[in-house]
Structure 1
Amino acid sequence: MDEVVVFPEPKDLKRYDGVLTVTGGSRILFGPEESPVLRHAASEVRRALGNLEVRFGVPEGEAGPGDVWLGLGGCRELSGRGKAEGYVLDVRDRITVRAPEEAGLFYGAVTLAQLVRPGGTVPGLRIVDEPDFVRRGIFVENKWGMDLMSLENWKDVIDVLSRLKLNTLDIGVYGCWCVQYEGQVTEFLTVPLPNYPLLRTEKTIRYYSPSSGWKHLTYLPVLFEEDLLGDIVKYGRERNVLVYPHFNSLGHNTLIPRLYPEVSAKDEEGEPTGYGYCLSEPGTYKMVFSMYGHIIKSYLLPNGVRHFHIGMDEVYPVVGADPRDPKRRVDPWCRCDRCRGRSRDELFLDYVVKLCSYLVEQGIEHISMWHDQFARQGLLEALSERLEEAGLRDKVVLHWWHYGLAPPESIRPELGMRAWMTPMHGYFFWWVYGSYLRNIHDMLKLGASQGAEGAESYGAYDPAFHRELCCLAEYSWRNDAGDLEGFRRKYLRYMFGEASREAEEAMGHLEAVAEHGELHSFLRLLFPYPYTYVNPKKPYPRDYPGEPLRNLLSDVEGSEGKLRTIIGHARAAEEGFSSLKGRARFPEVVDGWEVEALRIRTFAEEFLFLLRAFREYGRAEGLGEELEGLLEAHDHLMAEVERVKKPYLLPQTLRELTTMRRGLARIRRKLLSAAEGEVLPAEEVFFDG
């Protein structure tokens, strides 16, 4: 028998001899009456089997040979905590799918769609399946890219998630970081708040486009401007995907306190700091409750959603929060007379309990928070106790996040608090591709061993992250799925079929530079993004590509060796993916990997040249002309990014690539001037300021 490859791996699969061929005369029949979820289940089956007749409210006895019948009940084999989404699928002379609830019928239809072979054949088998984690999904951070996503883009994301049996989409609607571009604080609000009209996050992105020249894009987030959250929540619900908001607080919070200083944290003189809240100010609670209440009443409760994420991560002093003085370290903890009279621990816990109490009063039943600040302040035990005293502990979910290797030893199950695991599925689409398979695998295995009930990975959305999403689906649906190497091979068989061995070689080359480790850490520091952050010890804006070049010059031999290694792996990955695209299940995903390899190779070649040019400057001819060729190659990279990446990812990605292009062009001009007799010191040619 040929192999059956399904994502995520079913709990129990038994093969029968033979196959069933579904013909044009076959029908898709549902026992229950029509509903939005069942309509989409029918669409999934038709997507794989063709434009078959669909009927609802049909008893099983009316299904004939070759038909597909989906009905509720008859699933005694399902007994785990995920049985509400479980199903039993049987393929003999007809196809039957049984489930306790409509969600299970939908997932049975999703599995059936994956089983269909060319010619409409389906292997004879019986699957009994249900998830281990009740919540499985992703958090899309409110950063660049997602703020340009249209309703159709969000629908596409939900469709991808639902077909992997991922049932949760957490959307960032408010979060702030620090000064990064053109002296502006990076702030995002993606839901309109009518009671607070000052709260808007207009952005301007300037970048070069090989197809249309210099671009100047000024915009409000599409989600905000078109007020889309309710539509996205509704669309998700019809596909068994819970969509709910993440609205940060205390940390990652500059927009609100800067524009409404009456609620801002204060310094010792009582002046607003523009970062964090005054937790002794009644107006703070009035404002936060008003904003949260608007979101709940406008978007969540009308769609049956009772989840809300209130953030609470990384509440500590940072540089870059004050656009007037980016190097100043600003503290989010208020130091007014009232707040100074109480401990930060007490203020923090009181604030959390008040917010949770309000949310529960408004009908919210599941309140998510990040774990890290409570751990940082040694408050996990006190948090559990305070929530238990307030009757709230069973309403709160701690999200344990970790994005690197070596996950934490424990998620503290002895505290009696609900827990979800948060690895990373991919975030920095504008920076450099990284592989997070090990992070996902290890975090979900830890959660499964210590009683976690869900997994919600952190990041952005880019089709190039498809492999990570499949990994998340695999280990969140079935915690005992095989080892990571087995997953890697299975994924390539799923994606490339008989060409999986060739794909293994190409992916191995990409993994060599994309997996966490010394080479990837070295690679990450070649790109512009780390140098958008304020460093109090360096001039700001920072010198790029001068700063990474200076770092490489501290170990020329070692740097050149690493760059050549990176170039070799990236070129081999490019060539491999280019030859495989036509044989891939999802060619656009492979296109994404190919352009990521191209980006890695291009930057490595550019820095290899800069290292040599700095050392040969004044002694070698033709450096300016050679750099002309590298600029042409850089424009080719940018053109490929334009061709491959989703439109909403392009402005930020091209802005980052433009930073390097601008730096190379500046160095080229000085090299050409030197060739014409205007010889400048090497420091002035290769470094700016």
Structure 2
Amino acid sequence: MEIAELVLAPVPRRLRAARGSFPVPGGLAEALAAYTLGAPAPAGLAARIDHSQVGNAQGYLLSVRQDGISLLAADPAGLYYGVMTLRQLLRQAGRTLPCVHIEDWPSYPVRGIMLDISRDRVPTMATLRGLLDLWAGLKYNQVQLYTEHTFAYAAHPEVWREASPLTPAEVEQLDAWCRERGVELVPNQNSFGHMERWLRHPRYRDLADATEGFPDPWGGWRTQATTLNPLDPASIELVSGLYDELLPHFSSRQLNVGADEPIDLGHGRSREACRRQGVGRVYLDFLRKLHGEVTRRGRVMQCWADVLVRHPELAREVPRDLLAIDWGYEADHPFAAECRIFAEAGVSFYVCPGTSSWNSLGGRRANARANIHAAARDGLAAGAGGFLLADWGDNGHWQQLPISYPAWVYGAAAGWNPGSEEGLDVERFLSAQVFLDPSGAAARALALLGEAGENEVARLPNATVLAVLLLLDLQPYHRQALERFRGCRFEREEALLEQSLRLLGEARAAADDGQLLGRELELTAALLRHAARLGRERFATAGLSTREIAPPRRRSLAEELDGLEARYRRLWPARYRPGGLEDSAGRMRALKGSYADPD
């Protein structure tokens, strides 16, 4: 294999070809596949830590020569990352490696993944272990599993009973797997907003800020409280108890308390305090209380930064050891301006773009790339200490797991060496390293699904029009955007989806989950085609309404959706626990109900 044919992620900083090749001795590839952080180098690999040769933390020098393979590193992490690069070389070149010299190190010391496990999809342990292998191989070194109600708190069984949560023993196993791979598993428990899964239960209802309906920031109307009352000491007592149960099962000395989007703050029990002091001040006071609980347990507190960004005057008042996570998921998110708030205030911070997979079904390929690129570039320029890539599951978590793969690969390159991701052939990497598909068809089909969601008529925030068409409870700004699609026939999208399905028929993915991958992407294409068909019908009506579609066509849509839901249910247990399935698939049944003839 020629050096020019290699595709590595993250992209090494310096790669120089040399003459000749090296025949890999028997057993080396297998030993490297089992390598863990801090383990002795396997026979056939001359590896050592050498600070005189490698000066950058987590850096390494990997040389493949005609007489052997050597690896020098700055620290155990550097040795591990050198092995990960060597494994990628072996996966592509086979038993005869081209001679090459690689010098590499990261720009961001922390490169993380945050996976939403609270919106219906709680992965099985086998799925999580496979994901850890993928992420560690991409040189991510922090993982957070976003939790609202999906940890099995012994004192609160009614909250998680139907969710198939992670148990304490499972968290300890995950933590051990992470340590073997050089990954810090940071506990993540939302502790202020996004508490609706708690507040809907009678036992916790009195802890809610909102006591009646309230307007949300996106123009909608909510009847379910989502935010703890920051003035009630019982709110802190609740989260304090959660921390006591949760934290002993993690080796990490950090905790992400969430605290994002407290959308009912000031609309209920805190209304008068917010009127007198300001919403930002009331928020900061509660944030300090959370900080006290976290530091009392010997942890560093992370929190989402959206409220602090809206109240930049308070940034200088946050505790000095707090770590703010500046998040935003659109291509034009103002990371540069927001990062300056924390840099100038002397507050440590991460940047956090997203995979753009949620509310899309097939992904938002161009948006994800632009969002990730801007976050990595602007965060590094402002002095961010970490790069965290979020993968959410809003509105039933309908997207299949592989939809996030391209963004995870692209983000790995951006977080390691910002700017290098622009030259990375993500499709080739997925084909060679993840799907093991010599045809390249599966990766191309996946890319086309991401292109099908991007429509030039109007850009919907945090969503694609085809995914929004399948949701019944729309945000007002989505409803307004749909008017611009009047008369749209989605011919471009359907052509891309047909091409994607044709490619999936040609794919030869040899990965362990290769057949499952094909079924997941086929279902994604079928759901998007259903959305295009629904959109074509709706956007031809006067009121853009499903009810205005001719009854025979509505019945045909209902029959088609029946089959899609059945396929969705059959695929679910291959990667996920049963809890959450009824809630997720129930949204499809609700859509089917909208196709029914009026009484």
Distance 1:163 1:278 in 2: 42
Out of 373, 376, 393, the residue aligned to residue 444 of structure 1 is 376
Structure 2 counterparts to residues 393-542 of structure 1, below 5 A? 393=320, 395-408=321-334, 409-410=336-337, 411-412=339-340, 413-428=343-358, 431=361, 433-435=363-365, 436-460=368-392, 462-483=401-422, 486-488=424-426, 491=429, 494=432, 509-515=448-454, 517-518=456-457, 521=460, 524=465, 527=468, 530-532=471-473
Q: Give the residue type in structure 2 aligned to 1:150.
A: T
SS at match of 1:104: helix
Task: Tell me the equivalent position of 1:252.
Answer: 194
Task: Tell me the equivalent position of 2:19.
Answer: 17
Q: Give the residue type in structure 2 aligned to 1:277.
A: L
Distance 1:472 1:497 in 2: 22
Distance 2:283 2:553 in 1: 58
Pairwise CA distance, 1:191:
2.0
Alignment check: 8 A CA contact 2:304 2:325 kept? yes
Alignment check: 8 A CA contact 1:139 1:171 kept? yes
Residue 111, structure 1, aligned to residue 85, structure 2: yes
Residue 44, structure 1, aligned to residue 33, structure 2: yes
Task: Tell me the equivalent position of 2:259.
Answer: 312
- TM normalised by structure 2 equals 0.79
Out of 207, 210, 228, the residue aligned to residue 277 of structure 1 is 228
**1:123-159 deviations in whole A, cap 9, x for unaligned?**
2111121111111121122433433x22222222212
SS at match of 1:353: helix
Task: Tell me the equivalent position of 1:540.
Answer: none
Q: Give the residue type in structure 1 aligned to 2:106.
A: P
Residue 129, structure 1, aligned to residue 104, structure 2: yes
* Structure number with larger C-alpha Rg: 1
* Structure 2: gaps (5+ residues): 213-223, 393-399, 544-549
Q: Give the residue type in structure 2 aligned to 1:200.
A: V
Pairwise CA distance, 1:406:
0.5
Distance 2:566 2:196 in 1: 36
Out of 494, 514, 538, the residue aligned to residue 567 of structure 1 is 494
Alignment check: 8 A CA contact 1:595 1:644 kept? no
Q: Give the residue type in structure 1 aligned to 2:378.
A: L
Distance 1:160 1:251 in 2: 31
Distance 1:153 1:578 in 2: 25
Aligned residues: 554
Distance 2:488 2:469 in 1: 21
Task: Tell me the equivalent position of 2:284.
Answer: 349
SS at match of 1:140: strand
Task: Tell me the equivalent position of 1:120.
Answer: 95
**1:493-513 deviations in whole A, cap 9, x for unaligned?**
75688756x789756643432
SS at match of 1:289: helix
Alignment check: 8 A CA contact 1:368 1:397 kept? yes
Q: Give the residue type in structure 1 aligned to 2:77.
A: A
Q: Give the residue type in structure 2 aligned to 1:18.
A: G
Residue 89, structure 1, aligned to residue 15, structure 2: no
Pairwise CA distance, 1:612:
6.7
Q: Would the alpha carbon gap of residues 564 and 57 (structure 1) be closer, same or farther in structure 2, given more than 3 Å must change?
A: closer
Out of 294, 299, 311, the residue aligned to residue 249 of structure 2 is 299
Task: Tell me the equivalent position of 1:211.
Answer: none
Residue 193, structure 1, aligned to residue 153, structure 2: yes
Pairwise CA distance, 1:290:
2.7
The alignment's C-alpha RMSD in Å is 4.0
Structure 2 counterparts to residues 558-637 of structure 1, below 5 A? 559-582=486-509, 587=514, 589=517, 592-609=520-537, 633-637=560-564
Pairwise CA distance, 1:597:
2.4
Residue 68, structure 1, aligned to residue 45, structure 2: yes
Structure 2 counterparts to residues 385-400 of structure 1, below 5 A? 386-387=317-318, 392-393=319-320, 395-400=321-326
Out of 52, 73, 78, the residue aligned to residue 54 of structure 2 is 78
**1:274-308 deviations in whole A, cap 9, x for unaligned?**
55334344443333323223322x212xx2x1110
Structure 2 counterparts to residues 358-377 of structure 1, below 5 A? 358-365=293-300, 367-376=301-310
**1:512-537 deviations in whole A, cap 9, x for unaligned?**
322475366495366466423687x9
Pairwise CA distance, 1:15:
1.3
Alignment check: 8 A CA contact 1:21 1:119 kept? no
Alignment check: 8 A CA contact 1:144 1:652 kept? no
Pairwise CA distance, 1:250:
2.6
Task: Tell me the equivalent position of 2:121.
Answer: 146
Distance 1:533 1:227 in 2: 39
Alignment check: 8 A CA contact 1:138 1:456 kept? yes
Q: Would the alpha carbon gap of residues 101 and 14 (structure 1) be closer, same or farther in structure 2, given more than 3 Å must change?
A: same
Distance 1:346 1:470 in 2: 40
- TM normalised by structure 1 equals 0.70
Task: Tell me the equivalent position of 1:222.
Answer: 165
Pairwise CA distance, 1:471:
0.7
Alignment check: 8 A CA contact 2:258 2:302 kept? yes
Distance 1:57 1:317 in 2: 54
SS at match of 1:375: helix
Out of 632, 651, 655, the residue aligned to residue 586 of structure 2 is 655
Alignment check: 8 A CA contact 2:226 2:264 kept? no
Pairwise CA distance, 1:57:
5.8
Alignment check: 8 A CA contact 1:107 1:165 kept? yes
Distance 1:510 1:354 in 2: 45
Distance 1:143 1:528 in 2: 23
Q: Which moved more, 1:576-585 or 1:589-598?
A: 576-585
Distance 1:102 1:396 in 2: 28
**1:179-217 deviations in whole A, cap 9, x for unaligned?**
xxxxxxxxxx122333x4365234xxxxxxxxxxxxxxx
Distance 1:504 1:137 in 2: 23
Alignment check: 8 A CA contact 2:359 2:468 kept? no
Q: Which moved more, 1:345-354 or 1:235-244?
A: 345-354
Alignment check: 8 A CA contact 2:7 2:425 kept? no
SS at match of 1:312: coil
Q: Give the residue type in structure 2 aligned to 1:372.
A: D
Q: Would the alpha carbon gap of residues 489 and 281 (structure 1) be closer, same or farther in structure 2, given more than 3 Å must change?
A: closer
Distance 2:402 2:510 in 1: 17
Pairwise CA distance, 1:256:
4.7
Q: Which moved more, 1:339-348 or 1:458-467?
A: 339-348
* Structure 1: gaps (5+ residues): 29-40, 48-54, 175-188, 203-218, 319-329, 538-546, 616-622, 668-683
Q: Give the residue type in structure 2 aligned to 1:243.
A: L
Q: Give the residue type in structure 2 aligned to 1:600.
A: L
Q: Give the residue type in structure 1 aligned to 2:20.
A: G
Percent same amino acid among aligned pairs?
Answer: 20
Distance 1:287 1:595 in 2: 41
Alignment check: 8 A CA contact 1:140 1:146 kept? no
Distance 1:515 1:128 in 2: 38
